[in-house]
């Protein structure tokens, strides 16, 4: 009840979101790289590379010569599959990671290379940074827009197909869909992130060309059949992340304040919920 009475005070202004991002960009940015662990004698061939193509070619040679992954059929498809596993995407910053600290240093550029200390077996991990998404350097934020949609959920697939066909034949009007959402267990979902829903749904929701007004039917096993109608995009994912982080910090500050004021009466209950997470 106390939280509900104050929850509006936790929501930041848009200017506060911009300020938080400007002051703490590392919390909301990522980098991509290729990395491979190799015997020490193979390191020079990798560190001499100046492009992604050269690095991948060197990886291909090392994998082939060393038969990495055990005894496998050295077909081109198998080798290319192993190379694809060397790509690491959307790595966030961590204070405990040496490679993260290196990647986030000022002036870091695409195709810079980092080599780890050798392991007990004598293997060294070689990293090559890749260009960031839509930026000149290597660090980027998640500008993917969150998605908004209306939906109906049917238990019976045949009924879903019948209702969908009738709606489409009638012009697929959004106003008609709103009536269906009330009848068939539906509603509106806003600010959907890639990890929020079943993969069958997100594959369509985030596919290229799925924009305001697009619609489809998708069946999710053990759940039912969805009628989905895409609405206009929401805000960029990074802004939602910043907003959620600020709200979490403010809620936890409130918990600390209350527990300090009433240490014996409420401490146990408060600390059981203290580290809350606010969803998008």
Cα separation, 93 vs 218, in Å, equals 36
State yes or no: pLDDT of 9 exceeds 90. Answer: no
Which of helix, strand or coil describes residue 228?
strand
- What are residue 125's DSSP bridge partners? 37
pLDDT in tens, 94-152: 999 999 999 999 999 999 999 999 999 889 999 999 999 888 899 999 998 999 999 99
Q: Are 76 and 83 in contact (CB under 8 A)?
A: no
pLDDT score recorded for residue 198: 86
Contact between 127 and 170 under an 8 Å Cβ cutoff? The reply is no
pTM: 0.72
pLDDT, mean of residues 2-11: 67
Residue 276 has pLDDT above 70, yes or no: no
Instruction: Kindly state the DSSP code that residue 27 receives in the 8-state scheme.
Output: G
How confident is the model over 146-175, as pLDDT tens digits?
A: 999 999 999 999 999 999 999 999 999 999
The pLDDT of residue 19: 96
Strand partners, 217: 227
Q: What single DSSP character describes residue 121? A: T
């Amino acid at each position: 009840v106390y939280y509900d009475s104050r929850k509006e005070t936790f929501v930041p202004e848009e200017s506060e979101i911009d300020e938080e991002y400007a002051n703490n960009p590392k919390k909301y940015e990522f980098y991509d790289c290729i990395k491979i662990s190799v015997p020490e004698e193979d390191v020079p061939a990798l560190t001499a590379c100046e492009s992604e193509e050269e690095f991948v070619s060197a990886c291909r040679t090392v994998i082939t010569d060393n038969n990495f992954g055990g005894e496998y059929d050295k077909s081109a498809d198998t080798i290319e599959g192993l190379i694809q596993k060397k790509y690491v995407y959307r790595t966030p910053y961590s204070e405990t990671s040496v490679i993260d600290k290196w990647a986030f240093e000022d002036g870091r550029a695409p195709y810079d290379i980092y080599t780890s200390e050798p392991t007990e077996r004598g293997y060294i991990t070689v990293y090559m940074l890749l260009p960031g998404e839509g930026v000149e350097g290597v660090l980027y934020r998640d500008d993917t827009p969150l998605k908004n949609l209306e939906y109906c959920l049917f238990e019976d697939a045949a009924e879903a197909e019948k209702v969908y066909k009738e709606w489409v034949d009638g012009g697929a009007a959004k106003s008609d869909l709103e009536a269906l959402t009330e009848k068939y267990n539906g509603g509106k979902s806003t600010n959907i992130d890639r990890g929020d829903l079943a993969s069958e749904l997100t594959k369509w929701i985030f596919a290229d060309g799925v924009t305001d007004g697009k619609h489809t039917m998708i069946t999710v096993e053990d759940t039912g059949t969805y009628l989905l109608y895409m609405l206009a995009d929401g805000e960029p994912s990074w802004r939602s992340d910043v907003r959620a982080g600020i709200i979490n910090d403010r809620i936890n500050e409130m918990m600390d304040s209350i527990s300090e004021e009433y240490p014996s009466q409420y401490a146990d209950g408060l600390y059981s919920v203290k580290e809350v997470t606010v969803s998008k």
